[in-house]
C-alpha cells in the first residue's frame, strides 16, 4: 500500500539556520504530495502541495519539489524563525482516492 | 469562512465506557473525513464520507467504532466500548473538489484519554 517515510525528529536549529526535512514516498500511480504543519495546540494546516512531477510547492518561505525519480518531497527553508517551531507532516493522496496517507511527523524546535 | 468545528476538545473516560465526537464541516464541503492520530504518529484515516454515503471505512474497527453523517452535513463518531489503545486525537476534516484538488481542511481535534 501507499506509505510515507520522513526523518525522525526532533530537529533542533538556531534562528536563521537552513532547514531540510526529508520525505520519501511509496505509491502506485501519480499521487499528489503535501506538507502539513501542526503548531502547538492547533489543528493541521496545509503548508504547501505539489500535484505532479517537478512541481515546486512554496508558502511562507518553505519549498518542496516533487521528485518522481527519487520518490521524494523534501521540505526546505532558507532561514527558520522561532515561530516555525511545530510538527511537520509529509502526506500523499492518490488521484481518485482523496484520502491522505501521512508520515509520522517531524518536530522542529527553533531557538533564538 | 468558518472552519471545521469539533466538540468536545477534550474527553477523559474509563475503559469499556462509550464516547461520541461531533464534527461540523465547512459549509458546502461534500467530503468529510475522520482521522485518528495516536501520540507520536501521523493521522490515520478511519472513515471517509461523500455527502452522507461511506466511501472508505477499511481502517475503521467496526466492532467498536461507528460513524454517521446524517443529511450530508454534521457527523458523529462513536466508540463503544472504549479500550486503552483508543487514546488519541480524533481529527475531522472536510474538502470540496475544486479543479481536481481535494485540499482537506482540518478541525482542532478531540483529544481522548482512556484510563
Q: Which residue has the cell 457527523?
A: B75
Shortest alpha-carbon distance between residue A41 and chain B (Å): 8
pLDDT at site A41: 80
> How do strand B53-56 and strand B44-50 relate by DSSP bridges?
antiparallel
Percentage above 90 pLDDT, chain B = 77
Q: Which residues have CB under 8 Å from B89's CB, separation 6+?
A: B36, B37, B109, B110, B111, B112
Residues in chain A within 8 Å Cβ distance of B31: 98
pLDDT at site A94: 82
CA distance A12 to A104: 17
pLDDT at site A43: 85
- Which of B35, B75, B79 has its CA nearest to residue B52? B75
Residues A45-69: tens digit of each pLDDT: 999 999 889 999 999 999 999 999 9
Return phi, psi of residue B63, to 5°. -75, -20
Contact at 8 Å (CB) between A53 and A71?
no
Q: Which residue has the cell 507532516?
A: A89
Q: Using the predicted structure, report yes or no on whether residue B98 has a pLDDT greater than 70.
A: no
> CB distance B56–A97 less than 8 Å?
yes
Contacts for A61-68 with beta carbons within 8 Å, 24 or more apart?
Answer: A62/A35, A64/A23, A64/A33, A64/A35, A66/A33
Q: Which three cell numbers stand for residue A100?
A: 491522505
pLDDT at site A96: 60
How would you classify residue B49: left for phi > 0, otherwise alpha for psi between -120 and 50, otherwise beta? Answer: beta
> CB distance A98–B91 less than 8 Å?
no
Q: Which three cell numbers stand for residue B70?
A: 446524517
Residues in chain B within 8 Å Cβ distance of A97: 56
Q: Using the predicted structure, report yes or no on whether residue A7 has a pLDDT greater than 80.
A: yes
CA distance A83 to A80: 8
Amino acid at each position: 500500500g501507499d506509505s510515507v517515510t520522513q526523518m525522525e525528529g526532533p530537529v533542533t536549529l538556531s534562528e536563521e539556520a537552513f532547514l531540510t526535512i526529508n520525505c520519501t514516498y511509496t505509491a502506485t500511480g501519480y499521487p499528489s504530495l503535501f506538507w502539513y504543519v501542526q503548531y502547538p495546540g492547533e489543528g493541521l494546516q496545509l503548508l504547501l502541495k505539489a500535484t505532479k512531477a517537478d512541481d515546486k510547492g512554496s508558502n511562507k518561505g518553505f519549498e518542496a519539489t516533487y521528485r518522481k525519480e527519487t520518490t521524494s518531497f523534501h521540505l526546505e527553508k532558507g532561514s527558520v524563525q522561532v515561530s516555525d517551531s511545530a510538527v511537520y507532516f509529509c502526506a500523499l493522496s492518490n488521484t481518485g482516492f482523496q484520502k491522505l496517507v501521512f508520515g509520522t511527523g517531524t518536530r522542529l524546535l527553533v531557538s533564538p | 469562512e468558518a472552519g471545521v468545528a469539533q466538540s468536545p476538545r477534550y474527553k477523559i473516560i474509563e475503559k469499556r465506557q462509550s464516547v461520541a465526537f461531533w464534527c461540523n464541516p465547512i459549509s458546502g464541503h461534500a467530503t468529510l473525513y475522520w482521522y485518528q492520530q495516536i501520540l507520536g504518529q501521523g493521522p490515520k484515516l478511519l472513515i471517509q464520507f461523500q455527502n452522507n454515503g461511506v466511501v472508505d471505512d477499511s481502517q475503521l474497527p467496526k466492532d467498536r467504532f461507528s460513524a454517521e453523517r446524517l443529511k450530508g452535513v454534521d457527523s458523529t463518531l462513536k466508540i463503544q466500548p472504549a479500550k486503552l489503545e483508543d487514546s488519541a486525537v480524533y481529527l475531522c476534516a472536510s474538502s470540496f473538489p475544486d479543479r481536481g484538488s481535494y485540499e482537506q481542511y482540518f478541525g482542532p481535534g478531540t483529544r481522548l484519554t482512556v484510563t
